[in-house]
Amino acid sequence: MSSDHILPERQLKELQKSILDFMQTHNLTESFAAFARETGNEGFEPDPQDRHHNLLAKKWTSVIRLQKKIMELETKLTKLQNDPNVGRRTAKTEWLPRPPAKQRLAQHRAPITRVRFHPQFTVLATASEDMTVKVWDSESGDFERTLKGHTKAVQDLAFDQKGAILVTCSADLTLRVWDSEYKCVRTLHGHDHCVSAVRFLGADKIVSASRDKTVKIWEVATGYCVKTLAGHNDWVRSVDVAADARLLCTASNDQSVRVWDAQSGECKADMRGHENVVEVAKFAPVNAHPCLRKLAGLPPAADQQEGVFIVSGSRDKTLRLWDAMSAQLLHTFVGHDDWVRDFVFHPSGKALISVSDDKTMRVWDLASGRCTKTIEASDHFTTCVDFSSVSPLVATGSVNTEVSLWECR
């Protein structure tokens, strides 16, 4: 069968010109002349600026790369086909991180304070005490760029729901808003001390927590502070926003967890029980409610959205589950040997992943409250953790300045 039957006329001409360019580049003048004559391309003049230049070599390289990728995938497929456990594997949505770390990202020059995945793309943003935020391709681990502007340690960062805006906060008393091109478009001034935590409150507002004992709500469009929430007696370490953006929860050095009405600024609950600084508190997602109700010995709810649950992590080495409406302590997770620094809910709603100064990452079953897996996450204090919503990856950050990526399977 001739090539005319395989390639359309336009692609055939492209191939012929690429071959002629290759011949000319390698000084095959007689072959060039004969091939040009036989293919009706006598007028073709190779040009380094022409799109045909070196095209044959580029295509050949691409084919080699694709062949290598195919061979790697075939090897993986063979391993899976020979794995007796493949039929009994858990669903992909329930995969958990497994050691060893897939990659260690080392670009920061000081302890990592926060890791946060982009909500829609394979992008990871990391904050550090080195005053910078770094952006990575979470799939390949490739470093992409550094965001500079803060003049002291960057304490926290958050993407908006669409991932179009990034907000960061720092010990330099400011928050900075970065657009989709990672250009700083606004700097927010108003806190009187280190800004510890930041979240988006709906699409048009930002909420921040500070060592000045306050929580502030800001307009994204103007950068104006529209509300200040006061009530904690010490450093406010973290802030989180409920899924419907009606409630906030905060954790503080005063050993309490508080719930606030985001609209009125009223404190709705003051939960006490931790015996040391509370580093972090977060609302449990709705899909975790069935497991949490079972853990607390509560009857199944007629409506899955019934109730509001909060989990907090403390320097007393525990995590605690609270009923946010009654301020009642429902369960205490015991297992870490040092300060609990951060945690994230598993996308399935059936597990929680926490990190600690004991250098470990622990997986907790939310229905039983038991620690089901302990992973040595770092050789130093492990400060932060996040779970990607795009791919089965967990990221952790450490005082040793490294970020670790863990594959879930």
Q: Return d(Cα 308, Cα 303) in angstroms, integer.
A: 12
Q: Return d(Cα 401, Cα 243) in angstroms, integer.
A: 32
Q: Return d(Cα 189, Cα 179) in angstroms, integer.
A: 18
- pLDDT of res. 52: 75
- pLDDT of res. 9: 81
Question: Measuring CA to CA, which residue among 112, 96, 132, 97 is closest to residue 380?
Answer: 112
- pLDDT of res. 87: 46
Question: Measuring CA to CA, which residue among 39, 38, 32, 33 is closest to residue 14?
Answer: 39
3-81 shares its CATH topology with 92-407: no
- Per run of 10 residues, the mean pLDDT along the chain (length 409 residues) is 60 86 88 91 83 77 76 76 56 86 97 97 97 96 96 98 96 97 96 98 96 98 97 98 97 98 97 98 96 94 79 98 96 98 97 98 98 97 97 97 97
Residues constituting the chain: 409
- The residue extents of the domains of the chain are 3-81, 92-407
- pLDDT of res. 3: 43
- pLDDT of res. 5: 54
Tokens of 63: 């084919």
Q: Return d(Cα 138, Cα 372) in angstroms, integer.
A: 26
Architecture of domain 92-407: 7 Propeller (2.130)
CA contacts within 13 A on the Cβ side of 151: 4
- pLDDT of res. 85: 55
- pLDDT of res. 302: 74
Tokens of 350: 């059936």
- pLDDT of res. 4: 46
Dihedral of CA atoms 230, 231, 237, 238 in degrees, nearest 10, equals: -80
- pLDDT of res. 2: 47
Question: Measuring CA to CA, which residue among 251, 400, 259 is closest to residue 316?
Answer: 251
Question: In 56-122, where do the E strands start and end?
Answer: 103-105, 112-117
Q: What pTM does this model have?
A: 0.78
Kindly list the strands in the beta sheet with 133-137, ordered across the sheet, starting from the edge strand earlier in the chain. Answer: 112-117, 123-128, 133-137, 143-147
Question: In 181-336, where do the E strands start and end?
Answer: 184-189, 195-201, 205-210, 214-219, 225-230, 236-241, 247-252, 256-261, 267-272, 278-283, 309-314, 318-323, 328-334
Q: Return d(Cα 224, Cα 190) in angstroms, integer.
A: 9
In one letter, which amino acid is 254? D
Whether residue 251 contacts residue 280, with contact meaning beta carbons closer than 8 Å, is answered with yes
Fold of the 3-81 domain: Mitochondrial Import Receptor Subunit Tom20; Chain A (1.20.960)
- pLDDT of res. 307: 80
